[in-house]
Structure 1
Amino acid sequence: MFLAQTSSRQREIIEVVLRNGWDFMRRLLTGGKADEPKLPPPAVLRNILVDLGPVYVKLGQLLSTRPDLLPAEYIEELSTLQDEVPPVAWPAIEMVIRQAIRRPLDEVFATIDAVPVAAGSIAQTHHATLIDGREVALKVQRPGLEAVIRQDIALIRGMADLAARTELGKEYDIVAIAEEFTNALQAELDFCQEASYTDQLRRNLSKSRWFDPARLVIPEINWDLTTEKLLVMQWLDGVPLLSAEIRPSADTIIPEEERRQITVLLFRVFFQQLYIDGFFHADPHPGNLFYLKDGRVAILDCGMMGRLDPRTQQILTEMILAISDMDSQRCVQLTIQLGTSGQSGVNMARLETDYDRMLRKYANVNLSEINFSQVFYEILQTARNNKVRFPSNLGLYAKALANLEGVARQFDPEINLLEQIKPLITDLFRRQLIGDQPLQALLRTALDIKSLSLQSPRQIELLLDRVTSETLKWNLTIRDLDPLRRSMDDSANRLSFSILVGCLTIGAAIISSNAPTGSLSQLSIGLFVVASFLGLWLVVSILRSGRLR
């Protein structure tokens, strides 16, 4: 438990919360009685995460990929989180490199720049040259990071267990979110996994029918030197894409036509990742998209990757069309298909009304001006308000789409995204219908039709034989029929009791009015007693059922 014992880190967390003034969590952390839980304001949440350090900044970055969990203002605020931190001194970094390669540095590297080109919460990057003359980038894990992350993971899980006891924790499934974050964080500590992701992405994008792979660069990995704490990859000489106002190799501004080509290239590259390969770079922010000296475009940092199964890819493709057509009813159907299990309690009519209200805002907007990623964010948030839950990979999909569209519109504001999407979607549906090998799909369909044509006559003959011989039985299963049947049985029983009570009362009254002897009078009294008892029992049972009205 988080509060079972107090450590210096726990005290630091409490101090940060107190300093930022989040009253609910302050009472929860200090063991006091908390009122109805509320999330802190977006700016307060961001400040808390920044003050708590790099691990919690990573947590904020993960939450920024979950528009299905948080409102738009939180997503926007957390998306601004950057994990740039002061670099570690060179002697400590040098020690990590020596431990990783287990050889003298001068046997492997001709030069290593002691000043990092970038520093983050997990690692920092240095420029180096190998003995054979190849230039490489060294991504070195910060020393002592594992112990810090292990402690913070334990604290995060403890806080999640505490929060899980509240209505807020149950509604958002805080424990599952904490587990997802800790697994993602632990995976980021293994640079071998990032290296394998990089290789897989390069293989996937080495061929395409939508773009020229020669114009795209994914850095090659040097597996001989790469370890869990050291990633050695090809050095790419260039600048972040949005900084490439001037071509690095010349003092001229990039022509408008070339900007258009680069934007189209990026859209097609990520469209293939999302809707064909199902394995995509989930963080294409401006710092991870480079413009190289030779005019090619590079994608860097494959630490955060997402996956989509074929079914989800097809649903998301149809969602784009539903948004374009402003079809709220179809959006509802696709939302339910995208959601996780247990969506039976969703109010479909209300969800459709909310979608219709949301899409109506774009009714008079030119389709070329619609920000599709923003509309998809609103789709997820509207579904969240209606208690629909989504798998986490949809958050990564939305984040990738938003980052890509944001970079594209900044790099080339005149680009018509709809014109770029139309031919790709047409090709996608063609692939979904007949696949990449039309002849094979045709032969498979022909075999299915042949099998059906051979089996159908025998099945029809069997059906007719059963009908004529009166041996046909129908097995029907109607959901929620048993509760209805029990309710009807209860109503019938109460009606029967009411009729019986009425008959006894009327019989007793007739006997009492015409009773010449004492025995008949006693029988009349007995009938009255029985009728009164049954009537009283019937009234009590109706009142106890709560269905008087």
Structure 2
Amino acid sequence: MFLTQTVPRQREIIEVVLRNGWDYMRRLLTGGKTDEPQLPTPAVLKNILVSLGPVYIKLGQLLSTRPDLLSAAYIEELSTLQDEVPPVPWSEIEVVIRKQLKRPLEEVFPKINPVPVAAGSIAQTHRATLADGREVALKVQRPGIDTTIAQDIALIQGIADLVARTDFGQTYEIKSIAEEFTKALEAELDFTREATFTDQLRRNLSKGRWFDPQQIVVAEIHWHLTSEKLLVMEWLDGVPLLSARLTGDNNGTDIATQRKNITTLLFRAFFQQLYIDGFFHADPHPGNLFYLQDGRVALLDCGMVGRLDPRTQQILTEMLLAIVDLDAGRCAQLTLQLADSPQPVILARLESDYDRMLRKYHNVSLTNMNFSQVIYEILQVARNNKIRLPSNMGLYAKTLANLEGVARAFNPEINLFDEVKPLITDLFRRQLVGENPVRSLLRTALDLKSLSLQSPRQVELLLDRVTSETLRWNLSLHGLDGVRRTMDDAANRLSFSILVGSLIMGAAIISTKAQTTQLSFLSSVLFAAASLLGLWLIISILRSGRLR
């Protein structure tokens, strides 16, 4: 049993759960009888995660990216989780830095500010200066955090094993979610991974399709100093975007125009990441979007990224158009195309749910429509219909929600539809003709040529099989399990009835020709057996209507 390992951390978890009043988990942890699984209220769940510490805050942040699993109230509450914790003393951080460097600390960083500029659950950041005078940010892993995370991961997997025994755990694949979380958390312990993501995002945004790439910044990585526990990157001097005090620029651009230009830049940069690059910064909350002193915008903290394959990008582009058109049927079809695996779904019910959801937007102006909220609701309709979508759909929805929230807070006058419309038009043109129209035309011509050459041979083969009676059809019919079981039951009853009748006839034949005591006894036994079996058959039919 999970609780037989009475380690202090387990006792602490139980105390937190009991203190916050989550009765279902209390019964589960103690091996008691559990009813249908019930989550605590959003506020209570947040308090439990905060009380349990940094690793569980990370778990909450991951769950906030899964609107396909949780309702909007939970997503909204968990999205406010921040992993800011008291900083580790400089004396301990210095030891970690020295172990990661190949040369003395004083030679590499002549100047380091021992006071961190930020402190999180896994690392804290210090400002330093290189020997050549360039300023850098040092992201240093907290001492001993790898051991703490290993212990908490084991506990989370133990809890997931318990919940997986319930229908709730099997329906929502709790073990898979726990596995996904543990892999993501273990990956965060390797800063070279985040450095790789940062470099890739920097390269992608250096080629702006809809924006000036000089206006958006991603920090440069100093690879010769970066290791698994130390990330050294360019220092970007600025403030969080929502704290920026705009005063106009030397070209006479007023503050309102500046705000519009910045929100347009952000939307276009993220639309390129989502719908063209297929690799996107998945955590654009206000603290990760900086306004630099020179007027540019910087993206910070690339530890959480998402990926979208070309097929998914195409489906999501069409989904945007379906939302604009309030087309419930098309939304249902696209949702099924996004599903992880084919599942039996009542399409009419799914369309009806989407129609009911979209109907409230019929009289809403496109300029006032909250696109990210609509996407959240679409994912929740899929969840209610037990459609499992890929986990990156949660990251996609959360990214759009964070981006739209920051944009509206920074520039309340923003017209989201005007920002999105030209991009969607360009995306559809790109899907139709590709990046190189001439190449697409040549590829289509080659496909037509191949089809024209193969078609006569395929038709000849089909006719040959028809005339030679060797044509075979492979049919797969779904939903016939009930019919098959009914036929099996009917066949069983028929066979049983024939058996009873045979026993009666056999007993009658033996009785008419019985000349010895043994034959008379055998006849009586057969009659008795047939009578009992016949009576059992009648009672079974009357009670259940079928005999297994």
What is residue 377 of structure 1 aligned with on the other side? 376
Shift of 1:459: 3.7
Shift of 1:387: 1.0
What is residue 397 of structure 1 aligned with on the other side? 396
Distance 1:133 1:391, change over 3 A: same
Distance 1:496 1:74, change over 3 A: closer
Partner Cα separation in structure 2 for residue 330 and residue 178 of structure 1: 33
Partner amino acid, structure 2, of 1:45: L
Shift of 1:4: 2.2
TM-score (norm 1): 0.88
Give me the CA root mean square deviation.
3.2
Please list the CA deviations of residues 388-437 of structure 1 after superposition, one character each: whole Å capped at 9, or x if unmatched.
11111111111101000111111111111111211111111222122111
The answer to whether the aligner puts 1:358 opposite 2:357 as a matched pair is yes
CA contact (8 A) 2:248 2:254 kept: no
Distance 1:540 1:449, change over 3 A: farther
Shift of 1:144: 1.1
CA contact (8 A) 2:128 2:138 kept: yes
Shift of 1:536: 7.8
Please list the CA deviations of residues 476-498 of structure 1 after superposition, one character each: whole Å capped at 9, or x if unmatched.
41414975588679879999999
CA contact (8 A) 1:339 1:388 kept: yes
CA contact (8 A) 1:249 1:294 kept: no
TM-score (norm 2): 0.88
Partner Cα separation in structure 1 for residue 35 and residue 118 of structure 2: 44
Larger mean Cα displacement after TM superposition, 418-427 or 240-249: 240-249
The answer to whether the aligner puts 1:311 opposite 2:307 as a matched pair is no
Percent identical residues: 73
Shift of 1:377: 0.5
What is residue 102 of structure 2 aligned with on the other side? 102
What is residue 511 of structure 1 aligned with on the other side? none
CA contact (8 A) 1:238 1:293 kept: yes
What is residue 58 of structure 1 aligned with on the other side? 58
- The DSSP-based 3-state class of the residue aligned with 1:125 is strand
Partner amino acid, structure 2, of 1:305: V
What is residue 432 of structure 2 aligned with on the other side? 433
Shift of 1:36: 3.1
Shift of 1:48: 0.6
Partner Cα separation in structure 2 for residue 63 and residue 240 of structure 1: 25
Partner Cα separation in structure 2 for residue 317 and residue 140 of structure 1: 39
Partner Cα separation in structure 2 for residue 466 and residue 192 of structure 1: 60
Shift of 1:136: 0.3
Distance 1:475 1:67, change over 3 A: same
What is residue 473 of structure 2 aligned with on the other side? 475
Shift of 1:460: 3.7
Partner amino acid, structure 1, of 2:475: T
Distance 1:485 1:209, change over 3 A: same
Partner amino acid, structure 1, of 2:269: V
Shift of 1:164: 1.6
Partner Cα separation in structure 2 for residue 166 and residue 466 of structure 1: 52
- The DSSP-based 3-state class of the residue aligned with 1:351 is helix
- The DSSP-based 3-state class of the residue aligned with 1:224 is helix
Distance 1:488 1:438, change over 3 A: same
Shift of 1:176: 1.3
What is residue 512 of structure 1 aligned with on the other side? none
Partner Cα separation in structure 2 for residue 352 and residue 377 of structure 1: 16
Partner Cα separation in structure 1 for residue 165 and residue 191 of structure 2: 36
Shift of 1:465: 5.7
Partner amino acid, structure 2, of 1:5: Q
Q: How does 1:319-468 map to 2 (within 5 A)?
A: 319-344=319-344, 346-464=345-463
CA contact (8 A) 2:209 2:272 kept: no
CA contact (8 A) 1:340 1:391 kept: yes
Distance 1:93 1:488, change over 3 A: closer
What is residue 510 of structure 1 aligned with on the other side? none
Count of equivalent residues: 524
Partner amino acid, structure 2, of 1:473: L
Shift of 1:191: 0.3
Shift of 1:254: 6.5
Q: How does 1:71-90 map to 2 (within 5 A)?
A: 71-90=71-90
The answer to whether the aligner puts 1:32 opposite 2:32 as a matched pair is yes
Partner Cα separation in structure 1 for residue 163 and residue 337 of structure 2: 30
Partner amino acid, structure 2, of 1:113: N
Please list the CA deviations of residues 60-105 of structure 1 after superposition, one character each: whole Å capped at 9, or x if unmatched.
1111111110111111111111111111111111111111113211
CA contact (8 A) 1:239 1:248 kept: no
Q: What are structure 2's unaligned runs of at least 5 residues?
A: 501-511, 514-527
Partner Cα separation in structure 1 for residue 178 and residue 415 of structure 2: 40
Shift of 1:106: 1.2
